[in-house]
Amino acid sequence: MRGFRRAVAVVGSLALLLGSLFAGAAMAATPKRPTRVVIIVLDQTRRDTIMRYDMENVQALMDGGVNFPRAYLGHMAAETVISHNVMTSGQFPKHMGWSNEVYRDVGNVLGLGEGAYHVSSSMSCAQFDALIDRAGHMKLQDYLDQKFGESSTFAAIAEKRTAACTAGQTVGASDPQHFIIQIRGSANAAIDCGGGSATTWRRPEDGNGTVPPYFGLTGSCNRWWTMQSTSPPLDYGTASLPRAQMYPLEGNRFMPGFDPAHLGGDTWSADAAIEVIENDPNWHGMLVSLGAIDKAGHMWGTEDEGEAGASPGSVEEMRHLPFLAKLADTQVGRIRDALDDAGLLEETLIVITADHGAQTGTNFYGVDAPFRSDFNWYYGVETTTGTNEDYRMASPAIQGLVDELGTNLGFSYQDSHIAVFLNDQSPASLQAGAAAVRELPQVIAAYYRDGDHYVPFGSLGQMSRGERKWFNLHGQELVDTMAAPGGADVVGLLRDDTTYGVYGDHGGHQRQVQNIPIAFSWPGLAAGEAPRRALRSVDIMPTILKLMGIRYDPSSLDGVGVVLPRA
């Protein structure tokens, strides 16, 4: 027995020696600081989404990095169009140029009239660029240029213009080394990739005219063209299914589809990221937004279990969250593996996060009808494209607001919060607007804007103990982050599990909506949780800058940089 123990001790000593040698080699291979950063945004993903759908690759990156279990979004409106710019600018919405899904033009920045209303999902990259320039805040890619030179590349890749354009635009003059590519481009009747009408094929959008030649967008149909359409329908049957019919699928914009030469959705976004990794040695930053979870969550709710009896690989399986969440997880693994294959993993910081969470509308106050989402979300007339778009088809709940405010109602937007824009912003008018919003179903608190903050109005509505605790901690903080001149004059906060736009929705202050993952993965970090720090989306960029050793003026940002523990 004594000899056995001595042998075990010798083996143990050898193991420790070899382990220290391997650790030393790994430390020698890992640079002092990361020189590249990839932000992977899992659109509408809560932390429990990752566990619910067994997203193993995402979980591995979180477990192997510095994970913030108390992280929350930290701002309103909790929307794609807001959060992608928050995380790449370190600014709260009220300082970044627009602060909600709907923007009221103050100063005629977009050139379509003072006070004109713009629905952000219709806005162009050039319009977002104008708003960012007006706000004047530096973006992550501007800081990367300062560190690595103007020849460094930043790529913004997404399935939504509201994600790619907001993250990808720099302040000031356009930089040809930074580019924006998103899947939702224009149809071209002269191009038919085969297997459908020419008008169903879409070329991806080159958001600022600088997509590198290796994508081949100037040529004929190639891998990056995808089949997208609602007419003729390519909706995977969702346009006739309750709940999903309000916001149905439109071909392979968010779905991968079945054509291996033209896979869409999150596969498309990951392929584009890998294209950059393999072809551009000068890239130093990338934001990759994976949007399929958001699309499915809007249609079915955030706890979607899929369709019973759906066969593997079928349309019935593909159009639901369990399939799309696992697919997103696969793409995260592919991006990580591509970095490893290119020998870049040791120098690349990978940030895992989301642009918001979401909640399921157990209390739903929209109209469940085909293609109804826009009319549930918006009420008013907008002029984003230069031609008026009329959304004045109010749901019964919002009709009460319309009747109460009459001609003073300029525009309203409603999802898991209520945002109202008034024609008259006098104190009496603001208070009357807040009183009208407070009377809407499931509104727990109403506010009116006073400069850079909101003032509570009236009594609070009924809340559970958990709702009240979260509201007391964060309600005022969150609503104040969107108090901008072009923002809403009156805001209503809603109870948990309440939506007005579609069945699964976001935008508000609720804990489920604010619940997002934030984790930083790099071999030079000490893996583990940071349980005491409630990191927010606005803190992501300054934390990246600190780790990469890039100087910045903390007073110019709303976010706070955190020193991450080193290995």
Does 299 share its domain with 384? no
In a domain, 294, yes or no: yes
Check: CB of residue 418 under 8 Å from CB of residue 491: yes
Does 251 share its domain with 398? no
pLDDT at position 547: 98
**Sequence-ordered list of residues with C-beta below 8 angstroms from that of 379, at least 6 positions apart, any chain:** 391, 392, 393, 394, 398, 401, 402, 409, 411, 412, 413, 414
Does 277 share its domain with 399? no
Question: What is the per-residue DSSP string for 167-222?
Answer: HHPPSSS--TT-EEEES---B-TT---SSS-GGGEEPPEETTS---GGG-TTSSS-
Does 377 share its domain with 441? yes
C-alpha 36/C-alpha 360 separation (Å) is 37
Last residue in a domain, options 483, 506, 529:
506
C-alpha 461/C-alpha 444 separation (Å) is 4
C-alpha 316/C-alpha 309 separation (Å) is 9
Does 522 share its domain with 394? no
C-alpha 207/C-alpha 156 separation (Å) is 9
> Closest by alpha carbon to 167, among 351, 321, 418?
351
Does 235 share its domain with 268? yes
Does 462 share its domain with 548? no
In a domain, 538, yes or no: yes
pLDDT at position 1: 43
In a domain, 413, yes or no: yes
pLDDT at position 221: 87
Provide the 10 A C-beta neighbour count for residue 565. 11
C-alpha 105/C-alpha 122 separation (Å) is 14
Query: What pTM does this model have?
Result: 0.94
Does 46 share its domain with 190? yes
Does 460 share its domain with 524? no
Domain that holds residue 184: 36-96+137-357+515-556
In a domain, 396, yes or no: yes
In a domain, 5, yes or no: no
Does 525 share its domain with 489? no
The position carrying tokens 């584009």 is 272
C-alpha 331/C-alpha 497 separation (Å) is 30
Structure tokens at 302: 């955030």
In a domain, 237, yes or no: yes
82: domain CATH number is 3.40.720.10
In a domain, 484, yes or no: yes
Does 492 share its domain with 441? yes
pLDDT at position 339: 98
Last residue in a domain, options 464, 489, 506:
506
* DSSP strand pairing (417-422 vs 490-494): antiparallel
**416, 420, 426, 432: CA torsion to nearest 10:** -70
pLDDT at position 189: 60
Query: Phi first, then psi: what are they for 153, rounded to 5°?
Result: -110, 140
Query: Phi first, then psi: what are they for 323, rounded to 5°?
Result: -65, -45
From the first residue on, what is the mean pLDDT of each consecutive set of 10 residues in the chain (567 residues)? Answer: 40 47 52 96 98 98 97 98 98 97 96 94 93 95 95 97 95 84 80 70 91 90 88 86 96 95 97 98 98 98 96 96 98 98 98 98 98 97 83 97 98 98 97 98 98 97 98 98 97 98 98 98 96 94 98 97 95
CA distances from 371 to 226, 260, 317, 380 (A): 22, 29, 22, 17
C-alpha 48/C-alpha 43 separation (Å) is 14
In a domain, 27, yes or no: no
Provide the 10 A C-beta neighbour count for residue 31. 12
Count of domains observed in the chain: 2
Does 453 share its domain with 348? no
What residue type is assigned to position 212 of the chain? P
Return contacts of 337-343, CB within 8 angstroms, 24+ apart.
338/273, 338/274, 338/277, 338/278, 339/38, 339/277, 342/277, 342/278
| Burial of 257 per CB tally in 10 Å (0-12, 13-18, 19+) | buried
C-alpha 231/C-alpha 229 separation (Å) is 5
